[in-house]
Amino acid sequence: MKKITAIILVSLLFVLLVMNMFDSDINFNKMDQSEVDGQYYTENPTSANMVTSVVVDYRSFDTLGEVTVLFVSSLGVAFILGGLSSRIKFKQSQSFILKVGTDMLFGMIILLGAYMFIHGHLTPGGGFPGGALIGAAFLLKYIGDDSYRAKISAFKALEGTMGSIYVLIGIIGILVGNYFLENLLDIGTLGNLVSGGLIPIIYVLIGLKVGSELTGIFDYFVNEEV
């Protein structure tokens, strides 16, 4: 009975939404350039990757909000799952080749993640997938070795420092410039490595912060009570 009611409700919602989508006079797939919402962002880009210039330069306040949400979720996981101290043991013993192989791959993945957030304003990628790759490299070390613990205190200090520097850059924008999180440095020519003002610096901060945060979350998840 519950399933049939749910199916009827969901199909009714689907019919209503699709009918209203086809009813309006915006043709979604054939919009002209002048009808596009973000037309100002494509005509005045501050870096070669236009999505980067929207995320870090024009809407930098939303990125600060997202960094805060990640910090609060890491805090929540630490409150709920803190205090467990021994690792979950896997049912199969880890062979020698697995440990050596993960050690070799670890350095390469860290290098790929660092490349991604340093070149975030020139190629696709940026701070968030670069930081997530660093977190995935530490996850590989956790899976490959049954008794590995990362140095969590160093990661927590790194995460707190990077977040504070981001807010400090914003406050410097109020004191020296006109508004919070203004792009104070020179923009330069589009396409160089040193271009875009504060954009590469902020992406490096975000990449390191997200990487250390995700590593901290994994360290809480692999523990259990003794």
Partner 1 sequence: MSVQQYLQIGLGILMLVVAILAVESKKVINAVIYLSLLSLLAVVGFALMNAPDVAITEAVIGSGLVTALFVFTLLGVNKEAVTEGGENE
Partner 2 sequence: MHIIGVALMLIGVYGLLTNRHMIKIIVSINVLEVGLNLFIIAVGYSDNKIVPIITSQSAGASNYSDPLPQALVLTAIVIGVGTTAILLSVARKLYQQYGTFDLTEMEAK
Residues in touch with partner 2 (CB under 8 A)? 2-3, 6-7, 9-10, 13-14, 17-18, 21, 28-31, 33, 36-38, 41-42, 45, 48-51, 53-55, 59, 62-63, 66, 69-70, 72-74, 76-77, 80-81, 123-124, 126, 128, 190-191, 210, 214, 217, 220-221
Query: Residue 223's beta-bridge partner residues?
Result: 87
Tell me the per-residue interface mask from 92 to 131 with partner 1, x by CB under 8 A, - otherwise.
------------------------x-------xxx-xx--
Residue 74 is a binding residue for partner 1 (CB under 8 A) = no
CA distance 203 to 115: 11
Residue 218 touching partner 1 (CB under 8 A): yes
CB-nearer residue toward partner 1: 147 or 178? 147
| Window contacting partner 1 (CB under 8 A); options: 45-53, 65-73, 148-156, 183-191 | 45-53
Give the span between the Cα atoms of 25 and 118, in whole angstroms: 43
The upper half-sphere exposure of residue 105, i.e. CA atoms within 13 Å in the direction of its Cβ, equals 16
Residue with tokens 């690792």: 87
**Could you tell me how far CA 213 lies from the centroid of its own chain?**
10
**Identity of the residue, 173 or 200, whose beta carbon is nearer to partner 1 in the bound complex:** 200
Residue 86 vs residues 79, 101, 196: alpha-carbon distances, Å: 17, 24, 46
Angle of CA points 58, 61, 66, to nearest 5°: 120
Q: Which of partner 1, partner 2, none binds 103 (CB below 5-8 Å, type-dependent)?
A: none
Please count the CA atoms within 13 angstroms of the CA of 30 that sit on its side-chain side: 2
Q: Does 208 bind partner 1 (CB under 8 A)?
A: no
When the beta carbons of 26 and 176 are compared against partner 2, the nearer one is 26
